[in-house]
Amino acid sequence: MENGLPVVLEPHCCAPKKDPRRHDRKPVSLRITVVDTSGMAEGQILNLSLGGCGLRLRKRLLQGQYLWLKVYPENGNTTPVWDLVRVKWVEGDRLGVEFLCIALESLQRLHDLFGDQSTLVMED
């Protein structure tokens, strides 16, 4: 009988990671302005959900930082405003933010964009 190390197979090691997001994302391309304590920066929203969005900015931000965000849609409709968002992650010029405080008008625009899923925003 040979003395060898047991072989342990871990089937979960190659399993795809579960997406931690609670809401579906929609790809978009919207011009934005963000404001923090050090000033303003312009950028782009890459994707949008009921709970947050993915951004591309030239300004360097930090995880946990709080921002004010204003969106400039191409169609010229009322501009949605998020009065308070928090940076959840940063990778180079891309970052993800979660909505903490949203203006009623902006909430209505999210309802219009996401349809029946929009009731999920009230669960948080």
Cβ pair 56, 43 in contact under 8 A: yes
Q: Which CATH architecture has domain 23-117?
A: Beta Barrel (2.40)
Hey, what are 15's tokens? 């399993």
Task: Please report, for the chain, the start and end positions of each structural domain, with discontinuous segments joined by +.
Answer: 23-117
List the pLDDT tens digit at each of the 124 positions of the chain. Answer: 555 544 444 444 444 444 555 667 788 888 889 999 999 999 999 998 888 899 999 899 999 999 998 888 777 665 677 889 999 999 999 999 998 988 788 777 777 766 544 443 333 3
Find where tokens 């000033």 sit. 39
- Taking the CB of residue 32, how many other CB atoms lie within 10 A of it? 21
